Amino acid sequence: MTTQQPSCPNQEMPQEWLQSLGEMTYGLYVITAGHGQNIGGMIASWVSQISYIPPLIMIAVHPNRYTHNLILDSGSLVLHVLDQEQKVFLSRFKGPEPAGKFSGLDWTPGLTGTPVLADCPVYMECRVNNTLAPGNHTLFIGEIIQAGRRWEFTPLTSLDYSGMYVGKE
């Protein structure tokens, strides 16, 4: 059965739509950003490569995330691809509180000063060259300026995690 209803941007989404969106699969990533003395990190799943030349990726971030404003203020971010065995990063970087997320982690500042986590198999440091706000998330378009792949691994995806994120907040 399909449900066809007009878009309802300021109302609750029908349950069938939420269930359908919950069936989409994504990679699970850590995004880091920094501005001045402030650093932050968060889990992101709405991520995609959007261009080969230039090398561009897109990351959707809700404006209520602490890391959102750090990305806006600094104009940079680092996308970290997680190994399937790194579910511990999900609890570390989930939630709004920035204090403690980096405690005990090995990281170095990238070319832009943004934290690059040493324990992630892949990282892509980006300069943000465009932002869009087509809905309740900001889309950050980042051009890769530095990247590395450190070891063979199986990426962590939403299929490895029991929760789902449909983007309400």
pLDDT tens digits, 75-85: 999 999 999 99
pLDDT of residue 56: 99
Does the global pTM surpass 0.85? Answer: yes
Minimal CA–CA distance to 60: which of 148, 152, 135?
Answer: 135
Give domain 25-160's CATH architecture: Roll (2.30)
pLDDT tens digits, 129-166: 999 999 889 999 999 999 999 999 999 988 887 765 65
State how far the Cα of 154 lies from the Cα of 165, in Å rounded to an integer: 21
